[in-house]
Chains A and B, each alone.
Chain A
Amino acid sequence: MTDSVRHSAPGGAPLIDFRAVAVRLGEVTIFSNLSLSIASGEFVCLLGPSGCGKSTMLRLIGGLIDPVEGAITVAGKSPHQAWDSISYVFQSPRLVPWRNARDNAALGLELRNPAVPKSERQARAAELLRLMGLGNDMEKFPLMLSGGERQRVAIARALAVDPAIVLMDEPFSALDPETRRRMRADMVELWRTARKTVVFVTHDVDEAIELADRIVVFSAKPTRILDTIALGEQRPRNIDEMPSLRATRARLHDMFRSQQINLSGETVR
C-alpha cells in the first residue's frame, strides 16, 4: 500500500506538494503515504475509478479537509494559508438561483474580496462570460440556462478571482457527450491564454489524454498512485489521428484491466 516512488513535477520548485500524506474519512483510510507534486502552470489530470479519492485530493489542496499524516504545501504555504490563491469548479455548477449569470459569475469575487468595487466585479464577470461564449446570456437566471452554459458560468466565477490554481472536479461529467467535447476544446483554449495551474479530476481516459500535461493514475481502494504519464503532444489533440496518443490510451486501458477494475469503481470478476 505504500508509495515509495516519488511522483514529482518536471523541473523547478513544485507549486503543490504532497509528502507522505495519509487521509482518514470516517473509519476508512483513503490514502496512506501518498506523495505527489505539481509544477506551476501545469495541467494535471487525476484519473482513477470512482471512490478512489480524487475529490478528496482536491479538498486537501483547497484546505477544506486536513491529512492525518504527512504534509501538504501550496506555493510553499499550508493550504489553510494558501486558500485564496485557489478556486474551485465543482461537478455540479452550484449557482445560486436568485442571481443572474453575470451576478453569479461575480459572486466568487464578492465572497473573496469585498474591497473590489461592484462595477469592477461586474466588469470582470462580464468579460469572462464573454470569453466563455456567454456574452448574450448575462441577464439569464440559472433556471433558463442549459447544463453546459451553467457550467461555463461556474468556470467564469472561478476565473474571476484570478487564482493561481484552478481545481476542477469532474466539471463536465454531467454534460452530454457533444457539449462535453466542445467544453474540452474551450478549456484547452482558455488554459493556453490564462496559463493557470489546473488540477483536473476525471474518470474519462480520453478527456485526460486530450487535456493533460501529466496524468496521475490512481488505483481503486486501497488507493495508491499506479503511474504518472507525461504528455508532450501539441494541443488541440485528436487521439484517433495521433499514434502516440492512441498508444497512451491503450496503455491506460490495459493498466485498469490488469488492476481488475473498471473506471466506475467495481472490481471486475
Chain B
Amino acid sequence: MLIVWFFAAQALPPYQLPGPIKVGDKLAWLVATPAGLWHVAASIFHVAAAMLASFVLGFFVALLPLYLPVAVIMVDGRFTPFVNSFPGIGWTMLAIVWLGIGTNTVVFSVTIILLPFMIINLREGVRALDRELMEMAGSFSRSRARAFRLIILPSLFPFMFSAMRVSFGVSWKVTLTAELLGGTTGLGYLMNVARQELDTAQIFAVMLLIVLLVYAINRLLFDTAQRHLQLGRVGAAS
C-alpha cells in the first residue's frame, strides 16, 4: 500500500497527494517537537475534559427517571432526541458567539455533542437494571444509598464502560471539527492552518496521527479495562 501511495504521489501534484516521506516528516514534527506536542496535548485535554463533563451530566440525566419516574418522557422523549438531532456544528457556532474562540468553546461544544451518546448508553443500563435484584436489595435494606452503591452502580458498570468507549470514538472526530472552527490550539486548529496554506501533507499527518492515537488508546486502555471487567464477572479461576 505504501508503495502504491509513493508512486501515485509522484504522479500527482503534492497539494493533491503528498508523498509518504513528506507526511512522515510532518508526523515527526507533531510528536517530537515541543510545538507539535503542545497541540497534541491540547487535543487530548479537550477530549478528556469533554468526556468527563458529558459523562457526569449524562449520568445525572440518565438516572433522573429512576428516582423521579415522572421524568421518563422528559428525558427519553424530549431532551435526548433533541440533543441527539441538534447538529454538532450548530453548538460550535453558537459557542463561538457565546464564549469566543478558544478552549471553552471546544470543550463546551464537544461536551454537548457527546451528551446524547452517554445518555443513550446509560439509559440502556438503567432499563436493564434487574428488578429482582432491586427487590432483593429492598428486602435487606431500606437505605437507598446502600442499594445504589452495592447494586445499581455495579450493575451499570458495563454500560458506563460502553458509554465511554462509544463516546471516545466520536469525541476525536468532533473535537477536531470544534477545534478547526472555534479553537486556537489542538490538531483541528493545525488542520485549519494547513487547509488555508494548502499544506496537504500536514492534513494527512494529523489524520494519520489520530488514527494511530485512537487505535492505541482503544487497545491499551479500553481493551485492557474490558478484560478486567469480564474477568471480574466470571471469576479469575476460569
Query: Are the C-beta atoms of A143 and B235 separated by less than 8 Å?
Result: yes
Query: Are the C-beta atoms of B235 and A144 separated by less than 8 Å?
Result: yes
Query: In this assembly, does B169 line the interface, its C-beta being within 8 Å of a C-beta of chain A?
Result: no
Q: Known contacts A90-B132, A94-B132, A111-B150: does B235 contact A161 (CB below 8 Å)?
A: no
Query: In this assembly, does A96 line the interface, its C-beta being within 8 Å of a C-beta of chain B?
Result: yes
**Cβ of A141: which chain B residues have Cβ within 8 Å of it?**
233-235
B237 in complex: contacting residue of A90, A98, A112, A144, CB < 8 Å: A144
The docked-state distance in angstroms from the alpha carbon of A107 to that of B155 is 14
Query: In this assembly, does A49 line the interface, its C-beta being within 8 Å of a C-beta of chain B?
Result: no
Query: In this assembly, does B136 line the interface, its C-beta being within 8 Å of a C-beta of chain A?
Result: yes
Tell me the chain B residues, 107-149 only, with Cβ under 8 Å from chain A: 130, 132-133, 135-143, 146-147
Query: Are the C-beta atoms of B232 and A98 separated by less than 8 Å?
Result: yes
CB distance from A188 to the nearest CB of B (A): 24
**Cβ of B147: which chain A residues have Cβ within 8 Å of it?**
111
Query: Are the C-beta atoms of B133 and A94 separated by less than 8 Å?
Result: yes
Query: Are the C-beta atoms of A143 and B234 separated by less than 8 Å?
Result: yes
B137 in complex: contacting residue of A62, A100, A111, A161, CB < 8 Å: A111
The docked-state distance in angstroms from the alpha carbon of A107 to that of B154 is 13
The docked-state distance in angstroms from the alpha carbon of A94 to that of B139 is 12
Interface of B, secondary structure class, is: helix
Q: Per-residue 0/1 for B145-185: is the Cβ within 8 Å of any A Cβ (1 yes, 0 no)?
A: 01100110011010000000000000000000000000000
B135, B150, B157, B235: most-surrounded residue (chain A CB, <10 A)? B235
A140 in complex: contacting residue of B133, B139, B237, CB < 8 Å: B237
Query: Are the C-beta atoms of B139 and A100 separated by less than 8 Å?
Result: no
**Cβ of B130: which chain A residues have Cβ within 8 Å of it?**
94
Query: Are the C-beta atoms of B235 and A140 separated by less than 8 Å?
Result: yes
Query: Are the C-beta atoms of A111 and B133 separated by less than 8 Å?
Result: no
A98 in complex: contacting residue of B135, B137, B233, CB < 8 Å: B233
CB distance from B162 to the nearest CB of A (A): 16
Query: Are the C-beta atoms of B235 and A139 separated by less than 8 Å?
Result: yes
Query: In this assembly, does B85 line the interface, its C-beta being within 8 Å of a C-beta of chain A?
Result: no
Chain B contact-residue range equals 20 to 34
B139 in complex: contacting residue of A88, A92, A97, A144, CB < 8 Å: A88
CB distance from A76 to the nearest CB of B (A): 19
B140, B143, B146, B235: most-surrounded residue (chain A CB, <10 A)? B140
- Total interface residues in chain A, CB < 8 Å: 25
The docked-state distance in angstroms from the alpha carbon of A158 to that of B232 is 24
A97, A111, A140: most-surrounded residue (chain B CB, <10 A)? A111
Query: Are the C-beta atoms of A94 and B233 separated by less than 8 Å?
Result: no
CB distance from B6 to the nearest CB of A (A): 52
Query: In this assembly, does B33 line the interface, its C-beta being within 8 Å of a C-beta of chain A?
Result: no
Query: In this assembly, does B238 line the interface, its C-beta being within 8 Å of a C-beta of chain A?
Result: yes
CB distance from B217 to the nearest CB of A (A): 25
Query: Are the C-beta atoms of B143 and A96 separated by less than 8 Å?
Result: no
The docked-state distance in angstroms from the alpha carbon of A62 to that of B237 is 37
Q: Per-residue 0/1 for A97-136: is the Cβ within 8 Å of any B Cβ (1 yes, 0 no)?
A: 1101000000110111010000000000000000000000
Q: Per-residue 0/1 for A137-161: is the Cβ within 8 Å of any B Cβ (1 yes, 0 no)?
A: 0011101100000000000000001
Tell me the chain A residues, 200-239 only, with Cβ under 8 Å from chain B: none
CB distance from B136 to the nearest CB of A (A): 4
B130, B137, B155: most-surrounded residue (chain A CB, <10 A)? B137
Query: Are the C-beta atoms of B136 and A88 separated by less than 8 Å?
Result: yes
B136 in complex: contacting residue of A90, A114, A143, A144, CB < 8 Å: A90
26 A-B pairs whose Cβ atoms sit less than 8 Å apart in the complex: A62-B139, A64-B135, A83-B142, A87-B139, A88-B140, A90-B132, A90-B135, A90-B136, A94-B132, A94-B136, A96-B133, A98-B233, A107-B150, A110-B150, A111-B141, A111-B143, A114-B146, A139-B235, A139-B237, A140-B237, A141-B233, A143-B234, A143-B235, A144-B235, A144-B238, A161-B140
Give B contacts to A, CB under 8 Å. 130, 132-133, 135-143, 146-147, 150-151, 154-155, 157, 232-235, 237-238
Give A contacts to B, CB under 8 Å. 62, 64, 83, 86-88, 90, 92, 94, 96-98, 100, 107-108, 110-112, 114, 139-141, 143-144, 161
Other A-B pairs beyond A64-B135, A90-B135, A98-B233, 8, CB < 8 Å: A88-B139, A92-B132, A94-B136, A107-B150, A111-B143, A143-B233, A143-B235, A144-B237
- 5 residue pairs, one from A and one from B, having the closest CB atoms: A141-B235, A111-B141, A111-B140, A88-B139, A94-B136
